[in-house]
Structure 1
Amino acid sequence: MAALVIGLTGGIGSGKTTVSDQLAQYGIDIIDADIVAREIVAKGSDALNKIEAHFGHSILNKDKSLNRSALRSLIFQHEDEKQWLNSLLHPLIRQQLLDKLAAAQSEYVVLSAPLLFENGLDKYTDRTLLIDIEQDAQISRSVKRDNSNETQIRAIINSQMPRTEKCLLADDIISNTSLTFSQLNEKVQEIHLKYLELAKN
């Protein structure tokens, strides 16, 4: 297991994935909660079978994979359904994340999760890194990138912990509202070197 676990988080459109990709290029193991969550509900999985039994066939695509947009719109409209889904998936995701963290071999390991603080995953980390972005920039980037409408993006943002709270909880913050790609990479390199030093100690 790696000597140091870094929790990486940031809201939609913050640049969190860009940061984790850069760290991966430095040879750091990245455990991505979003990827694990997708694996848990892969076609034919027990979790997907339970989701289908609960929500009905309309929650699946023609190829029997999960229709994510249909599920997303459904749970944003019904809090009780969101709670049911979370109670099914969160324990499965959590165990998979812990298994992957235990198997990590790099000098330090990154646990990347958009809901790191909200889901209490920060308790499995030694230090947390927040990629912060102002809300207007967050919305415009997300609308362009995902072809989503602004209302849906705002609903996602409003369902998460406010920026101010995340900033208070995070050990390290990269403010990415106005950074160029190369400037962001410089910041990532700086923090990577810092984490290498911490891992040695």
Structure 2
Amino acid sequence: MAELPTQAPPPRPYAVALTGGIGSGKSAVADLFAELGVTVIDADAISHALTAPGGAALAPINAAFGAEVLCANTGLNRPLLRERVFADPAARRRLEAILHPMIRERMQAALAADQGPYALLAIPLLVETGQTGLADRVLVVDAPEALRIARVGRRSGLAPAAVRRIIASQATRAERLAAADDVIDNAGDRAALRPQVAALHARYLDLAGAHR
């Protein structure tokens, strides 16, 4: 019997991947794009859903790390697991092997379902996980390290040394900039972000129109 011809998957909507190191201001930039009507598909939000009570990632995390990393009320004991994976690179890789494929699958499904002219994929570890191919364009939010450390300290109360350890576990500033098609400079305040986001939004609408 002759084989049936395979159908190519439908083309996905135009996608821009948003990334940046901790404290760079990714969330502020994503919020400004959302105010302009852009769909933001947030990897962190998906991760939280996967690890909330009843989340699909809890069973494999339990099997890999033990019941002590789970909580009845919150699903995942985030502080305990964070401490463990930052102290043990092998543990971090085990966690990433569980979460990243699940997050990627849900991001791709959300992107395929999006009806807007383009979507923003907010992926903090885009460069570290080699996922630049998920999008048509990479947007990096950039800020000096000292400013990022200060921002994280004000936001979360972490000591500078703790923030530096997190920064050291991420891609370097140079690596992110090398992967960027576009860069937003977030060395200033939120008001300085708006014109940059507006200009990029106009550019992405043009690119998305040509993509169709």
Same fold by TM (over 0.5)?
yes
Structure 1 counterpart of 2:199: 190
**1:46 Cα deviation from its structure 2 partner:** 3.8
Query: Secondary structure at 2:57's aligned position in 1?
Result: helix
Distance 2:170 2:77 in 1: 22
Q: Which of 87, 93, 98 is the matching residue for 1:83?
A: 93
Normalising by the residue count of structure 1, what TM-score does the alignment of the two structures yield?
0.94
Q: 1:2, 1:105 within 8 Å by CA — same for their partners in 2?
A: no
**1:84 Cα deviation from its structure 2 partner:** 1.2
Distance 2:17 2:161 in 1: 29
User: Given residue 68 of structure 2, which amino acid in structure 1 is its aligned partner?
Assistant: S
1:159-182 Cα deviation digits (max 9, x unpaired): 1111011111100001111x2211
Distance 2:55 2:27 in 1: 26
1:80-135 Cα deviation digits (max 9, x unpaired): 11111111111111111111111111111100111111112210111111000110
Structure 2 counterpart of 1:73: 83
* 5+ residue gaps, structure 1: none
User: Given residue 187 of structure 1, which amino acid in structure 2 is its aligned partner?
Assistant: Q
Q: Which of 36, 43, 66 is the matching residue for 1:56?
A: 66
Normalising by the residue count of structure 2, what TM-score does the alignment of the two structures yield?
0.89
Distance 1:64 1:19 in 2: 28
Q: 2:21, 2:124 within 8 Å by CA — same for their partners in 1?
A: yes
1:147-162 map, 5 Å = 147-162=157-172
Structure 1 counterpart of 2:189: 180
Q: Which runs of 4+ in 1 moved over 3 A?
A: none
Q: Which of 135, 139, 156 is the matching residue for 1:125?
A: 135
Structure with max Cα Rg: 2
Q: 2:52, 2:74 within 8 Å by CA — same for their partners in 1?
A: no
Distance 1:162 1:96 in 2: 27
**1:55 Cα deviation from its structure 2 partner:** 2.3
Distance verdict in 2 for CA 1:53–1:123, change over 3 Å = same
Distance 2:192 2:12 in 1: 28
Distance 1:10 1:46 in 2: 27
Distance verdict in 2 for CA 1:195–1:2, change over 3 Å = farther
Query: Secondary structure at 1:191's aligned position in 2?
Result: helix
Distance 2:74 2:145 in 1: 36
Same amino acid, percent of matched pairs: 38
* 5+ residue gaps, structure 2: 1-10
User: Given residue 198 of structure 1, which amino acid in structure 2 is its aligned partner?
Assistant: L
Count of matched residue pairs: 200
Structure 1 counterpart of 2:145: 135
User: Given residue 25 of structure 2, which amino acid in structure 1 is its aligned partner?
Assistant: G
Distance verdict in 2 for CA 1:77–1:173, change over 3 Å = same
**1:64 Cα deviation from its structure 2 partner:** 5.2
Q: 2:13, 2:114 within 8 Å by CA — same for their partners in 1?
A: no
Distance 2:131 2:109 in 1: 14
